Structure 1
Amino acid sequence: MTGLRQQHRRRIHEAISEAAISLFMERGFDEVPVAEVAAAARVSKPTLFKYFPTKEDLVLHRIADHQGEAAQVVRGRAPGESPLEALRRHFLEGLARHEPTTGLNDHPRVVAYYRLVFSTPGLAARVFQYMATDEAALADALAETTDRLTAELLAGQVLSAQRVLARRSWEALVAGRPIEEVEREAVSAAEHAFALLGA
């Protein structure tokens, strides 16, 4: 019974998010009231807020799902693999899968999603809050292998580098360049970035 309840909650969660993102993409984040999202998803406003505490969460839960990922990569790395090498490998694997968080995904809905996030000041600011939380978690994981200052500096540099790399790939795709060409450049840029970090 618990499994069925969880499935039901997941379906409602996804239905609300899909309705919200579709409306926001069509008319803009600030132009669509939460009541309209609730009506489109066929739920009450209180139900919507049970699933998504803020309007921003309707959009950004897809990014929040990846919170703590870098710290998990460091802690779950293979024996003998350095933290930086594990993070490099993980990012390159993400590029190979065209993981949306790497910026290398040309599906029209993914491209439009990131346009919505980057062009809405409230959403962009909230992304930086997520990054700060991620940075602290990564610093904690790295501090298990080195001194605290080095851990904090490296965490900030790694996540900033990944943000720059993702933004470059997304902008190249928005400009209409073929994904195969962008992917080659993205892999080369990632190798360059992690080589700099390693130095």
Structure 2
Amino acid sequence: MRERKKQLTYQAVSDAAIALFLERGFDKVSVAEVAAAADISKPTLFRYFPAKEDLVLHRFADHEDESARVVAARPAGESPLDALHRHFLDGLDRRDPVTGLCDAPEVLAFMRLLYGTPALVARMYAYQGRSEAALADALGGGLPARLAAGQIVAVLRILALDNWRRIDAGESADAVRVGAARAADAAFAQLRTGLDAAARTDPDAATDG
């Protein structure tokens, strides 16, 4: 019950903050104003969210170790890359905002806030660093696992950003879906075969259509 209450408080404070940020802009809202809107003290807010940026990026917290969990829970005989590839394609089908393929108005507003605020973009890299560390552990640890995790997390980020940019430019999620899946297939093929093979591939082939 204590943990559930804590999670509800996290969500309530984050929701109050994001509503203010969307209305007035991230840089124009103070932490004190967020605390007042959430009906808590400023010191209490900082116990839940160490930095102002975390009020927004809290929504990504559940995804920090997502890739690691996918690898750990994969069926016997399935490779880590195959499991992550399958999971990303499933996310496209579900229009999971983490894949960038979601055109729900509230998600579009949130993503515009995120990518339009340099402080939030910079803070997001810290979250991605923790994702890399968790995935590297799931892959067995050591330098080879860290190198692989860094490449995989970068691929997932770039795929999601490309999808988001197309949708932000006015395309629907349904219209982007086929190209997004094709790009994911090409990206994971590149991970499997390495950069030498990628250098011999037409760079526009994965995104045509």
- 1:32 corresponds in structure 2 to 29
C-alpha displacement of 1:96 = 1.0
Output the CA distance in 2 between the equivalents of 1:182 and 1:143: 35
- 2:183 corresponds in structure 1 to 189
Output the CA distance in 1 between the equivalents of 2:149 and 2:81: 10
**1:81 correspondence with 2:75:** no
User: Residue 11 and residue 129 in structure 1: after superposition, are their counterparts in 2 closer, same or farther (change >3 A)?
Assistant: closer
Output the CA distance in 2 between the equivalents of 1:155 and 1:125: 20
Q: Cα RMSD over matched residues?
A: 1.5
| Seq. identity, % | 54
Q: What amino acid sits opposite 2:73 in the alignment?
A: G
- 2:156 corresponds in structure 1 to 162
The residue matched to 2:40 in structure 1 has which SS?
Answer: coil
Q: Where does structure 2 lack aligned partners over 5 or more consecutive residues?
A: 194-209
Q: Superposed, which structure 2 residues align to 1:84-163 within 5 Å?
A: 84-143=81-140, 148-163=142-157
The residue matched to 1:65 in structure 2 has which SS?
Answer: helix
Q: What amino acid sits opposite 2:151 in the alignment?
A: Q
Q: Where does structure 1 lack aligned partners over 5 or more consecutive residues?
A: none
C-alpha displacement of 1:138 = 1.2
- 2:15 corresponds in structure 1 to 18
Give the alignment's TM-score, normalised by structure 2: 0.86
Give the alignment's TM-score, normalised by structure 1: 0.90
C-alpha displacement of 1:12 = 2.7
